[in-house]
Chains A and B, each alone.
Chain A
Amino acid sequence: MVAVNLLVFLLLAPFYEGIIRRVTARVQSRQGPPLGQPYFDLLKLLGKENIDAGGAWPFRLAPVVAFAAMLVVVSIVPAAGTATVLTGQGDLITLVYLLTLSGVAVLMGAFASRNAYATIGASREMVTMIMIEPVLVMMLLLAAIRHGSLDLAPLVGGGAEWAWSTVIMALVSLVALQAFVARQPFDIAEAEVELLDGPYIEYAGPNLALLKYARMLKQMFYAYVVVAVFMPATGVAAVDLPLQLVAVGVVCAALGLTGATNPRFRIDQAVRFYAVLLAVSLGAVGLVLGGY
């Protein structure tokens, strides 16, 4: 099943990126690139030269760690309620740690590059992580409390019981999703016009391809988690998986739509926004503990 997971995520992540780009283009009265364009982008980068700007080992290691962490994440996630060989080896905390590891690797690489823009971008990314990772924890915690266990299998198995806390958390996670995947208006760390891609500025070629691929995987994973936790499931994997993947496509289209209709936040504005999200998600966890 690990192979199925890896295959589904690795094959489809660029496709969902393509959907987002296409939706954005349509909102902007453009035709947009073909849906397969992100695959070509990755292939093109893989054929280019790796430029070792920083010369420091964290810089070289960062893309591999970020990508590997995402591979492990998608290997242990029980897609469509089906546990893989590795699912039992990890739990909710492992999952959060792995996601954070992927993010931290990017930060280390950015700081190691000693580029002024990368440094500013990385410090913005750090603030974002500190503020937004707890929302993810709350989201998973809510499901864990409902199921009374930190195990992943029942947690991401779909079919959450609908109660007030679940409704609130579903809304919070849909909004937070935009921030999790750092799409507009939350692409603050990359901020093209002032920071020129921020943490990624010094990367080129295959290293950049790995980082981009890791981001696409992360994007698909977060979209998938939201769908899997909150969408009702039949319990038959062969039916659930295609349905979930279609739902992920819808969620990605919504990501593109939100991105295309909002200007970028400033980091201080974003922090206030995250604080509200965090407070609401804490409230939802409080509700579930109170039995609502």
Chain B
Amino acid sequence: MTVEGAGARVTEAGPDRIDIEVARPDLQAGVRAVVEAGARYLMGIGYDDIERDGTLGLVHTFSFDRDDVFACVRTRAPQADPSFDSITPLLPAAGWSERECADLLGMRFDGHPKPKKLVLADDWPAGVYPLRKEVPHDLVPPAAEDVAYQLDAAPPGTTTVPVGPFHPSLHEPAHFAVYVDGETIKGCDYRGFMTHRGIEKLCTTQVSYNEVPFIAERICGICGSVHATAYAQAVERAASLAISRRAEYIRVLMLEIERIHSHLLWLGVAGHLIGFDTVFMQAWRIREPIMWLSERITGNRKTYGMIAVGGVRRDIGPEVAEDIRGVMDATEKELRALRAAIEHDTAIHRRTKDVGTLSIAETTRWSLVGPVARARGVDIDARRDHPYAAYDDLRFDVPVFTEGDVWSTVLVRLVETFESIGLIRQVLDRMPAGELLVAPPEAIAPFRHAMSVVEAPRGEAVHYVITGEGNRPERWRVRAPTYVNLQGVPAMLLDEQFADFPIILGSIDPCFSCTDRVTVVDQSSGRAHLWTGSQLSDLSRGRATGA
């Protein structure tokens, strides 16, 4: 491919990455050239280079899916005048990345169609940019009163239905102002990021390289291994560290167990969202043995703590392998019955067919990823397009449907679950012997850029790491799949029925915590009675197994 911008400097940053350094005025031209060469937008990263050369850096990353190549368009602006040309009019999917850079680093984007706050709280003081190096990670500015986000004006003739911040179809805090005319949705505005944890800041100031995977796992309650693997891969690339084949196979195993678990969880939630709780109960019943299995493999039902920089932390012995095979056989059998029941249920067709339809063109325009894209005829899957871990050794199909409605996303996920079971069997059959953990080098050269993608159950997760001094990253940027898919939701909602709002939003399997990058902690009810660990375990096991 040829990428030519006026004065652009193109460097091969590795076998699968090209960096394109452009001068600030040429940013749009550079981005346009990459897009015209057939690239898909991933995310934008801003970073603070003030200490070294007094500039703020900006990287727009792209993927050439067919060629397994990433393209990074890099530019910088002096601290005194941190303004860039917005690429959002060209690429709507870049909208959030630019707003985030504006919030966190104080950049300005000329020509941005919606230059509002995205990440920061509405009462955050002006002129304090949390990702700048001079701002401490534990800064708590005083709260201001009477500051509120200004939602978009409702289109004429519509009423506003607030969905959120706490609403049963969301499960996590986020606010949608849905503009309805009768029962028809005429638009919607989103305000989220209500529980932003500042994980990226924390990991660039307080911890070391090898502690980050455990924090990365807590980005999301479901895709824990996904984020840990993506981060570990990025650091391994920056350090040119090759991990053992066995560790790569075990990573695949954990990722696929996570996918089965996540798809079953989604199927249940989707059933609940169309008012069909029986699907919810049955899907979660089938999911439960997967969680026990995870506990036997890793010690945890979720948030496994398996992945570290340099490999994995536990082995899969022959006994555990047999255990996994048994659970997979049982799950496959149960899943077949569930799939048959769902596929032939006309009542489910009624609620999901021709709902949330989006054309291929719109899907590409918004850079949607994962099952949402594959249900709309966009054939992308990071496991196949940018092979990582042991996926280049394994055989699997990537289901793609073209109807582009919610029903197709159901089908994509159902088929994928069977593919995952097949992948796990292949892993058990072919896993070579080898070391689990390779010790990372004493020091990783600073200021190297590295990125990696991992196909999470919801779509592709992208991590970008700039190595730093002091045994920790200089900048770490995470883009969870929901981050892009959520930007496409207003397009899916347009002219649909309000009753379909839950399932359309649900069809992207929204994970607000990934997007916000937050953990949710349950507070105890404050009851005086205390359960011991063994009592609790007896209680849950006894109930769940019917013993």
Footprint of B on A, CB under 8 Å?
Answer: 24, 27-30, 116-117, 120, 184-185, 187-188, 191-194, 196, 260-269
Contacts of A267 in B (CB 8 A): 183, 497, 499
Interface residue? B339 (CB, 8 A): no
Say yes or no: A192 contacts B271, CB within 8 Å.
no
Checking B160, B275, B281, B497 against A29 with a beta-carbon cut-off of 8 angstroms, the contacting residue is: B281
Q: Give the distance to chain B from A206, nearest Cβ to Cβ, in Å.
A: 24
A-B contact pairs, 24 of them (CB 8 A): A27-B278, A28-B277, A28-B280, A28-B281, A29-B285, A116-B159, A116-B162, A120-B180, A184-B275, A191-B275, A193-B168, A193-B169, A193-B273, A194-B499, A194-B502, A196-B168, A260-B277, A263-B271, A264-B276, A264-B499, A265-B350, A266-B351, A267-B497, A268-B183
Q: How far is the CA of A185 from the CA of B350 in the complex (A)?
A: 12
- The SS class assigned to the A binding surface is loop
Q: Give the distance to chain A from B297, nearest Cβ to Cβ, in Å.
A: 25
Interface residue? B272 (CB, 8 A): yes
Q: Give the distance to chain B from A127, nearest Cβ to Cβ, in Å.
A: 10
Contacts of A261 in B (CB 8 A): 278, 347
Q: Give the distance to chain B from A1, nearest Cβ to Cβ, in Å.
A: 40
Contacts of B278 in A (CB 8 A): 27-28, 260-261
Contacts of A27 in B (CB 8 A): 278
User: CB-defined interface of B177-206 with A at 8 Å, one 1/0 digit per residue?
Assistant: 000100100000000000000000000000
Contacts of A191 in B (CB 8 A): 275, 499
A264 in contact with B281 given A120-B161, A194-B501 (CB within 8 Å): no
| Interface bracket on B | 20 to 34
Contacts of B279 in A (CB 8 A): 263
Q: Give the distance to chain B from A213, nearest Cβ to Cβ, in Å.
A: 24
Q: Give the distance to chain B from A28, nearest Cβ to Cβ, in Å.
A: 4
Interface residues of B in 272-294 (CB under 8 A from A): 272-282, 285
User: CB-defined interface of B337-373 with A at 8 Å, one 1/0 digit per residue?
Assistant: 0000000000110110000000000000000000000
User: CB-defined interface of B495-506 with A at 8 Å, one 1/0 digit per residue?
Assistant: 001111110000
Besides A116-B159, A266-B499, 10 other A-B contacts (C-beta < 8 A): A29-B281, A184-B275, A193-B272, A194-B499, A263-B276, A263-B350, A264-B274, A266-B351, A266-B497, A269-B350
Say yes or no: B347 contacts A266, CB within 8 Å.
no
Q: How far is the CA of A264 from the CA of B167 in the complex (A)?
A: 18
Q: How far is the CA of A261 from the CA of B348 in the complex (A)?
A: 10
Q: Give the distance to chain A from B515, nearest Cβ to Cβ, in Å.
A: 20
Say yes or no: B275 contacts A263, CB within 8 Å.
yes
Q: How far is the CA of A29 from the CA of B278 in the complex (A)?
A: 9
Interface residues of B in 492-543 (CB under 8 A from A): 497-502
Contacts of A28 in B (CB 8 A): 277-278, 280-282
Contacts of A117 in B (CB 8 A): 161
A266 in contact with B285 given A28-B277, A120-B161, A193-B273 (CB within 8 Å): no
Say yes or no: B168 contacts A120, CB within 8 Å.
no
Q: Please list the 4 inter-chain residue pairs (A to B) with the smallest Cβ-Cβ separation, ordered nearest first.
A: A264-B275, A263-B276, A28-B281, A263-B274
Please indicate which of the listed interface residues A30, A117, A194 has the most CB atoms of chain B within 10 Å of its own CB: A194
Contacts of B276 in A (CB 8 A): 262-264
Q: Give the distance to chain A from B436, nearest Cβ to Cβ, in Å.
A: 39
Say yes or no: A185 contacts B285, CB within 8 Å.
no
Q: How far is the CA of A29 from the CA of B282 in the complex (A)?
A: 7
Q: How far is the CA of A30 from the CA of B280 in the complex (A)?
A: 12
Contacts of A120 in B (CB 8 A): 161, 180, 183, 498
Q: How far is the CA of A184 from the CA of B351 in the complex (A)?
A: 14
Footprint of A on B, CB under 8 Å?
Answer: 159-163, 167-169, 180, 183, 271-282, 285, 347-348, 350-351, 497-502
Q: Give the distance to chain B from A21, nearest Cβ to Cβ, in Å.
A: 12
Q: Give the distance to chain B from A261, nearest Cβ to Cβ, in Å.
A: 6
Contacts of A193 in B (CB 8 A): 168-169, 272-273, 275, 502
Checking B161, B168, B500 against A192 with a beta-carbon cut-off of 8 angstroms, the contacting residue is: B168
Contacts of B499 in A (CB 8 A): 188, 191, 194, 264, 266-267
Q: How far is the CA of A185 from the CA of B169 in the complex (A)?
A: 18
A185 in contact with B273 given A29-B281, A266-B500 (CB within 8 Å): no
Q: How far is the CA of A266 from the CA of B184 in the complex (A)?
A: 12
Q: How far is the CA of A269 from the CA of B349 in the complex (A)?
A: 12
Q: Give the distance to chain B from A123, nearest Cβ to Cβ, in Å.
A: 8
Name the residue on B nearest A266 (C-beta): B499
Q: How far is the CA of A264 from the CA of B348 in the complex (A)?
A: 9
Contacts of A185 in B (CB 8 A): 275, 347
Contacts of A24 in B (CB 8 A): 277
Say yes or no: B281 contacts A30, CB within 8 Å.
yes
Contacts of A116 in B (CB 8 A): 159-162
Name the residue on A nearest B274 (C-beta): A263
Name the residue on A nearest B183 (C-beta): A267
Please indicate which of the listed interface residues A188, A191, A263 has the most CB atoms of chain B within 10 Å of its own CB: A263
Name the residue on A nearest B182 (C-beta): A123
Q: How far is the CA of A261 from the CA of B278 in the complex (A)?
A: 7
Contacts of A192 in B (CB 8 A): 168, 275
Name the residue on B nearest A127 (C-beta): B183
Q: Give the distance to chain A from B279, nearest Cβ to Cβ, in Å.
A: 8
Q: How far is the CA of A117 from the CA of B169 in the complex (A)?
A: 13
Contacts of B168 in A (CB 8 A): 192-193, 196
Contacts of B348 in A (CB 8 A): 263
Q: How far is the CA of A143 from the CA of B278 in the complex (A)?
A: 37
Q: How far is the CA of A265 from the CA of B351 in the complex (A)?
A: 7
Q: How far is the CA of A27 from the CA of B350 in the complex (A)?
A: 21
Checking B160, B169, B280, B351 against A194 with a beta-carbon cut-off of 8 angstroms, the contacting residue is: B169
Say yes or no: A187 contacts B161, CB within 8 Å.
no
Say yes or no: B498 contacts A263, CB within 8 Å.
no
Q: Give the distance to chain B from A118, nearest Cβ to Cβ, in Å.
A: 11
Q: How far is the CA of A193 from the CA of B167 in the complex (A)?
A: 8
Contacts of A194 in B (CB 8 A): 163, 169, 498-499, 501-502
Contacts of B500 in A (CB 8 A): 266
A196 in contact with B161 given A261-B278, A266-B500, A267-B183 (CB within 8 Å): no
Name the residue on A nearest B163 (C-beta): A194
Say yes or no: A264 contacts B351, CB within 8 Å.
yes
Name the residue on A nearest B277 (C-beta): A28
Q: How far is the CA of A267 from the CA of B183 in the complex (A)?
A: 9
Q: How far is the CA of A15 from the CA of B247 in the complex (A)?
A: 58
A187 in contact with B159 given A30-B281, A193-B168 (CB within 8 Å): no
Contacts of B498 in A (CB 8 A): 120, 194
Name the residue on A nearest B275 (C-beta): A264
Q: Give the distance to chain A from B216, nearest Cβ to Cβ, in Å.
A: 31
Contacts of B183 in A (CB 8 A): 120, 267-268
Q: How far is the CA of A269 from the CA of B159 in the complex (A)?
A: 23
Name the residue on B nearest A263 (C-beta): B276
Please indicate which of the listed interface residues A30, A193, A196 has the most CB atoms of chain B within 10 Å of its own CB: A193
Contacts of B273 in A (CB 8 A): 193
Checking B161, B285, B351 against A263 with a beta-carbon cut-off of 8 angstroms, the contacting residue is: B351
